[in-house]
Amino acid sequence: MATALKDGCDLVSFSGDKLLGGPQAGLVVGAQALIEKLRRDMLTRCLRLDKTMLAGLEATLRLHALGEDAACQRIPVLRMLALTADELKKLNVENVIADVHTVSGSFNALVKALH
């Protein structure tokens, strides 16, 4: 995202959950004048986030502002993605994965394994 802006893109959209490890949210960054145009669009009202999602997004961004290490330690999905092969072996992930049958089940199983 930052590279795209540095390379001259006026607007960049991305997924809050996939890129940041936060709540599911479509985000747009870029030139202020273009962001203002988007805000005035009639569709903005039906696509906006509710207060709970905004609070989750704010908390996630605050963790990222503390630095990559802080974000990786405090955001579960980033912590899991940062595990080395040796760390995964210590968690006996093969057995955890064998017990998983759903996406939500896999997340819960990995969270339990990490704690």
* pLDDT at residue 12 is higher than 70: yes
Q: Is-contact 71 78, C-beta < 8 A?
A: yes
Domain assignment of residue 90, yes or no: no
Domain assignment of residue 97, yes or no: no
Which amino acid is it at 81? L
Domain assignment of residue 86, yes or no: no
User: How many Å apart are CA 21 and CA 70, to the nearest integer?
Assistant: 13
* pLDDT at residue 91 is higher than 80: no
Q: Is-contact 79 68, C-beta < 8 A?
A: no
Q: Token pair of 106, please?
A: 């896999």
Tell me the residue range of the domain where 53 lies: 2-67
Domain assignment of residue 48, yes or no: yes
Within its chain, how far is the Cα of 4 from the centroid?
Answer: 18
pLDDT for residue 94: 61
Domain count, the chain: 1
* pLDDT at residue 1 is higher than 90: no
Report the chain's mean pLDDT, rounded to a whole number: 81
Q: Is-contact 71 21, C-beta < 8 A?
A: yes
Domain assignment of residue 62, yes or no: yes
Q: Give the pLDDT confidence of 65-89 residue by residue, as tens digits.
A: 999 899 988 998 888 888 887 887 7
pTM: 0.64
